[in-house]
Amino acid sequence: MRMRLLWVLLFLFAIHLSGYGQSQDTVRQEKIKYVAQETGLFAPLPEEVPPGHYSGIAYLGGSAYAVVDDKLNGSGLVFFNIDINDLGQVQSVEMQVPDCTSESEVKSKDCEGIAYVSLTDFADSLIREWKAALGMADSIPTIKGNTLYISAESDQSITEYDIDGNPTGRALEIPSEFGWDNIYPNRGFEALTYSSSTSLFWTTTEAPLKSDGEYSLLHRFQSFDASLKPWIQYLYYMDEPIKSQSESKNAQAYVHGISALAALNDGKLVVLEREAYVPKGGILKMALESFSMTKLYLVDPQDAIYGPGLNGELPKTLLCSFMTGALGLANYEGMCLGPVLPDGRQTLVLIADSQGGSKGRVLEYVKVIALKAE
């Protein structure tokens, strides 16, 4: 009986591997191109949703999203219901704070990014049992379904939580080069995403690492495999900033970096480059000169360039860009895949961090971008 079960498991495992390989080959051959389309105006959060520091967002399915507030205690986790109509327009937004007593008294970890692994995203239990039976326990994927992974700048960690926001005690194994001593203050892990098609996590620091230079445009995209261990690292170069070094140093507030990543279903990544500037001075000066520039780029790890002096540089393609001013300044820090619209377009849902409202100068907005495959 046990021998028969073993053969069944072997058969299932072979099907799994063959199917996976076929899907990956299909991805490589198709080279899908995307056109980004704005589905509507910036949608402000309703008064019922308090001003916050909403820095990361992950899609749970339906109208449900997990969001992190980087100033809340513990994981900073809250839940949003964002109703998006068939045209990709935001109809309503509601927020719910989870009843998670184990984290309610834990000091804020400055949580910035969040990724969701659904029940169908992790390895089939029969395959894992088969591996264990053959003594292959070390290679068993350790990701679990229905879990959240949250990145924190305070200690450069990426921690696993259950769907209620309770820490499981597990975390991604962070390479030493991304350690807290190697980042600029408040410029660490801002972005986090998970690709169900490749079973890889992706992250990068908001600003370049100290080893690459404060004003470098180089960012290092680090992937992690299903065992929560580091996988391949790629190089990515941001655009030149609008503001000079002297202008950015003398500003009342200034950020220039990568605040979010979103993994598409074909293994590509959408990168959110963000530059926000608020000058010193009176209300009029801030109203006239403040801005936040958001650019979304598409990269494909399969197109990474290798050669003399190049170690996996990622070419990028601009999907769209938009700027907001002081009368409606939107500091976008979170991005994730949303629902697929009836016409087949894949939505991207962006959420802004208002820094607690900033006395009304910065507003919380949700914006939806629809990606049309060509």
Q: Which of 59-73, 99-113, 149-163 shows the lowest mean pLDDT across its residues?
A: 99-113
Q: Which residues contact 324 (CB under 8 A, 6 or more apart)?
A: 42, 291, 292, 294, 330
Evaluate whether residue 308 is within a structural domain. yes
Using pLDDT thresholds of 50, 70 and 90, give the confidence band for residue 72. confident
Q: Where is average pLDDT lowest: 112-116, 130-134, 137-141?
A: 137-141
Expressed in angstroms, the distance from the first to the final Cα of the chain is: 51
Half-sphere exposure (Cβ direction) of 167: Cα atoms closer than 13 Å = 17
Amino acid occupying residue 288: L
Residue 325 lies in a domain: yes
* Amino acid 125: pLDDT: 44
The number of distinct structural domains making up the chain is 1
Percent helix / strand / coil, the chain, rounded to 5: 20, 45, 35
Q: Give residue 36's pLDDT.
A: 93
pLDDT at 133: 62
359 in any annotated domain: yes
Higher-pLDDT residue of 100, 278: 278
Query: Is pLDDT of 200 > 80?
Result: yes
Residue 104 confidence class, pLDDT cut points 50, 70, 90? low
In a domain? residue 219: yes
For range 9-18, the mean pLDDT? 37
The predicted structure's pLDDT at residue 20: 33
Q: How confident is the model at residue 86, as a pLDDT?
A: 96
CB 146 within 8 A of CB 198: no
Confirm whether 42 is domain-assigned: yes
Range from 24-38, 137-151, 326-340 carrying the lowest mean pLDDT: 24-38
Tokens found for residue 105 = 């008294």
Q: Tell me how crowded residue 248 is: count the other CB atoms within 10 A of its CB.
A: 17
Q: Highest-confidence range of 74-78, 102-106, 219-223, 329-333, by mean pLDDT?
A: 219-223
What mean pLDDT is predicted for residues 85-111? 80
| Separation between Cα atoms, residue 348 and residue 357, nearest integer Å | 24
350 contacts 334 by C-beta, under 8 angstroms: yes
Whether residue 68 has pLDDT greater than 80: yes
Per-residue pLDDT reduced to its tens digit, 280-293? 988 888 888 999 99
Strands 157-162 and 147-152: antiparallel
Sheet containing strand 147-152, strands side by side: 111-117, 147-152, 157-162, 167-171
Tell me the C-alpha distance between 339 and 51, whole Å.
25
d(C-alpha 241, C-alpha 76), whole Å = 30
Q: Is residue 313 part of a domain?
A: yes
More confident residue, 294 or 118: 294
**With left for phi above 0 and alpha for psi between -120 and 50, is residue 31 left, alpha or beta?**
left
List the domain range (segments joined by +) for residue 363: 36-127+142-373
Q: Taking 80 as the threshold, does the pLDDT of residue 45 lie above it? A: yes
Task: Identify whether 183 is part of a domain.
Answer: yes
Q: Is residue 132 part of a domain?
A: no
- Average confidence (pLDDT) over 60-89: 92
pLDDT at 134: 64
- Maximum Cα–Cα distance for the chain, whole Å? 80
Cβ-based neighbour number of residue 342 at 10 Å = 10
Q: What would the two tokens of residue 10 be?
A: 């072997």
| CATH code for the domain in which residue 150 is found | 2.115.10
In degrees, to the nearest 5, what angle opens at C-alpha 197 toward C-alphas 191 and 199?
Answer: 65
- Give the separation between CA 268 and CA 15, rounded to whole angstroms: 25
